[in-house]
A and B are shown apart, each in its own frame.
Chain A
Amino acid sequence: MMLPDKTAQLEEVVARIGDGATIMVGGFGVPGTPMTLIQELVRQGARDLTLIKNDANEPGMGVDHLLRNGQVARLITTHLGLNTHAIGLMNNDQIKVEFNAQGILAERIRAGGAGIGAVLSDIGIGTELAEGKQVVEVDGKPHLVETALRADFALIHADRADPFGNLTYVATARNFNPLMAMAADCVIAEAETVTPLGELEADAVHTSGVFVDHVAELGEISGEYAVVQR
């Protein structure tokens, strides 16, 4: 038996993303942000998108290209502190922003990826972030119902992949990628290198290819992945 080959052309798989789609995008700052998939989504132009991403990168980088191109209607995130442009769009009501506590966003995505309807937590009780959320009592203590998140698509950046879609990440580029790779109906991974089946150590695989629908090799990577000169 041989594992199926899911290698694909990046242009062809991004073409599946239509207007109104909900998209999870990996990354925390530059590390782990799928810059090339984002650029292709900008080029193809799907609109009215809901993005789920930890942060909005920095002005002129990553998902900020989608914001500048007017493709984003809604952003579910944790922190926009390094992107003044995104904050401006939010303050002018040009995009709707839903803030989550960072680890709660991670757990909501993990729940979505694990086939669970919600998680319970007391994080944020007594703050603005609890407003409008259902409260249930567990062991005599109030907990917020944090509903699971799933998306139509997940855009993932991996360091290495094999044709089946097994993925590995490096350093702090892991962040939300393995969680999001489990939580979307169609998971598209860009990988810096795609190696033949069997070359990734089975014990070293971070995301099983079972979760991944398409994998595209980047070859030479663009300057957007480089160290940011501040």
Chain B
Amino acid sequence: MSPNWVKFLGNTPLSNAKNRMTARAAREIVPGMVVNLGIGLPTKVVDHLPSDFPVCLHTENGLTGIGPTLPPDQANRNLIDAGGAYVSTVPGSAFFDSATSFAMVRSGRLDLTMLGAFEVSSQGDLANWKIPGKFSPGVGGGIELAQRARRVVILTTHTDRAGNPKLKDECTLPLTARGCVSRIFTEMAVIDVTPKGFALAEIAEGVSLAEVREATGASLIVPDSTLPVF
């Protein structure tokens, strides 16, 4: 992601639709979890949790127990998250080196990670690190998070900027990991990855089923019962 994009997310209030989506995604976090939130939209999820919510946030550059983001005049020059934001600690925080940080990830100590996506396939394959010829900043810790967190959920716009579906039968971009995604949150819907493909779980207020189908590049299993609205 470009620095401009990071700036944009840092300084701009989210639209109502994105705000609803991050608020809904926050309900995915269960008390007691260890959670890693990817750069961008996922970091906004924490804004919807009460300050006394019992959760341990992990960041790849060596901190468990992330506290609130700080403005530059209050920041500690040695205390950032993996996206470069100046963060703080909470009572009980711990620092460690990069090998220890990824030992936590690979050994299954992360209950949940929330990541962004360029494409997700109906088998749960994820592509989120490279667009050949356009965007190739490197994978960072993305593969290990996607492959080894106990639960991987995606926060993404339903379509790309040109309006093309990001949810597809097959990913066409270089993969981050196969079969890793459990659930997808978009501004239009909550969609689960099941052995039979994408299944619509919830729908955003004011969005029709036809609109979700139109914006999704794969078939969608829709329950017979009334869909919950978020």
Q: Which residues of B contact A121 (CB under 8 A)?
A: 106
The reply to whether the CB of B84 lies closer than 8 angstroms to some CB of chain A is yes
Contact yes or no, B141 A101, CB < 8 A = yes
What 0/1 readout, one digit per residue, does chain B (90-107) give for beta carbons within 8 Å of chain A? 000001111101110110
The reply to whether the CB of A103 lies closer than 8 angstroms to some CB of chain B is yes
Distance, CA A25 to CA B228, complexed state (A):
51
Choose from B78, B138, B141 the contact partner of A77 (Cβ within 8 Å). B138
Contact yes or no, A102 B144, CB < 8 A = yes
Contact of A171 with B138 at beta-carbon distance under 8 Å, contacts A101-B143, A179-B97 already known:
no
Contact of A172 with B78 at beta-carbon distance under 8 Å, contacts A127-B177, A178-B97 already known:
yes
Distance, CA A121 to CA B102, complexed state (A):
12
Contact yes or no, B141 A81, CB < 8 A = no
Contact of A230 with B7 at beta-carbon distance under 8 Å, contacts A78-B141, A177-B97 already known:
yes
Of listed A172, A177, A229, residue having the most chain B CB within 10 A: A172
The reply to whether the CB of A89 lies closer than 8 angstroms to some CB of chain B is no
Contact yes or no, B138 A80, CB < 8 A = yes
Contact yes or no, B60 A126, CB < 8 A = no
Distance, CA A178 to CA B99, complexed state (A):
10
Q: Which residues of B contact A90 (CB under 8 A)?
A: 136
In angstroms, how far is the closest chain A Cβ from the Cβ of B65?
12
Q: Which residues of A contact B174 (CB under 8 A)?
A: 127-128
A108 — nearest CB in chain B belongs to which residue? B99
A176 — nearest CB in chain B belongs to which residue? B98
Range of interface residues on B (Cβ < 8 Å): 35 or more
The reply to whether the CB of A106 lies closer than 8 angstroms to some CB of chain B is yes
Contact of A172 with B62 at beta-carbon distance under 8 Å, contacts A79-B138, A106-B97, A110-B99 already known:
yes
Q: Which residues of B contact A109 (CB under 8 A)?
A: 99
Q: Which residues of B contact A79 (CB under 8 A)?
A: 137-140
Contact of A81 with B137 at beta-carbon distance under 8 Å, contacts A225-B77, A229-B72 already known:
yes
Of listed B6, B59, B62, B175, residue having the most chain A CB within 10 A: B62
The reply to whether the CB of A142 lies closer than 8 angstroms to some CB of chain B is no
A105 — nearest CB in chain B belongs to which residue? B98
Distance, CA A78 to CA B10, complexed state (A):
23
Contact yes or no, A172 B79, CB < 8 A = yes
Distance, CA A149 to CA B106, complexed state (A):
20
In angstroms, how far is the closest chain B Cβ from the Cβ of A64?
12
Contact yes or no, B99 A28, CB < 8 A = no
Which residues of chain A from 190 to 230 have any CB-CB distance to chain B below 8 Å in the complex?
Answer: 225-230
Choose from B63, B142, B144 the contact partner of A172 (Cβ within 8 Å). B63
Contact of A126 with B98 at beta-carbon distance under 8 Å, contacts A101-B144, A230-B10 already known:
no
Q: Which residues of A contact B62 (CB under 8 A)?
A: 28, 172, 174-175
Contact yes or no, B140 A81, CB < 8 A = yes
Contact yes or no, A107 B99, CB < 8 A = yes
14 additional contacts, CB 8 Å, given A28-B62, A103-B105? A28-B80, A78-B140, A101-B141, A102-B60, A103-B60, A106-B97, A106-B98, A122-B147, A126-B175, A159-B78, A171-B76, A179-B99, A227-B75, A227-B86
30 of the cross-chain contacts (CB-CB < 8 Å) are A29-B80, A58-B3, A78-B141, A81-B1, A82-B3, A99-B139, A102-B139, A102-B141, A103-B98, A123-B143, A123-B148, A124-B143, A126-B177, A127-B143, A127-B177, A128-B130, A170-B78, A170-B95, A171-B63, A171-B78, A171-B79, A172-B59, A172-B61, A175-B98, A176-B97, A177-B97, A178-B97, A179-B99, A227-B72, A230-B7
Question: Which residues of B are in contact with A by a Cβ distance under 8 Å?
Answer: 1-3, 6-7, 10, 59-63, 72, 75-82, 84, 86, 95-99, 101-103, 105-106, 130, 136-144, 147-148, 174-178
A-B complex: 3 closest residue pairs judged by Cβ atoms: A103-B102, A79-B140, A81-B137
